[in-house]
Amino acid sequence: MMTLYQPEPVEISTRIRPGEWTESSLEELVTTYRAKILAMGAMVPEVVTQVARHDDGSVAVTVSWNKGDYADEPASDSPAPGEATTGPATA
C-alpha cells in the first residue's frame, strides 16, 4: 500500500557576500549543511551540493536532498555512490 509522499527536495541554502568567507569557512559550511540533510534521513547518494562563485566575490551554497518519487525509491538523477558532487570536498 502506498502512502501520500511529497517528493520535493529538502534544501538548505545561503548566499555569502564578498569578503565574508574563506575556502576553509566555505568547506565547513558545506560540511555542516550536508550533515544536517543526512541527519534528516537522506542517504549520501541523494545529497546534492552546489557552490556557485560569482564574479563579485560572493558565493551561493545549496545542499539538497533529492528524494525519489516514492518513499523507498532513491532519486533517479542522484549521483552514484562515491560519485563527486559540485563544490568543495566534503566528508
Q: What is the pLDDT along the chain (91 residues), one digit of tens a residue?
A: 555 556 677 899 999 999 999 999 999 999 999 999 999 999 999 999 999 999 999 999 999 998 866 555 555 554 443 334 444 444 3
Alpha helical stretches, state H, 1-91? 23-39
pLDDT at 86: 44
pLDDT at 78: 45
pTM of the predicted model as reported, rounded to 2 decimal places: 0.68
CA atoms within 13 Å, Cβ hemisphere of 54: 12
Burial pattern 44-61, b for ≥16 Cβ within 10 A else e, equals ebbbbbebeeeeeeebeb
User: DSSP assignment, residue 76?
Assistant: T
pLDDT at 3: 55
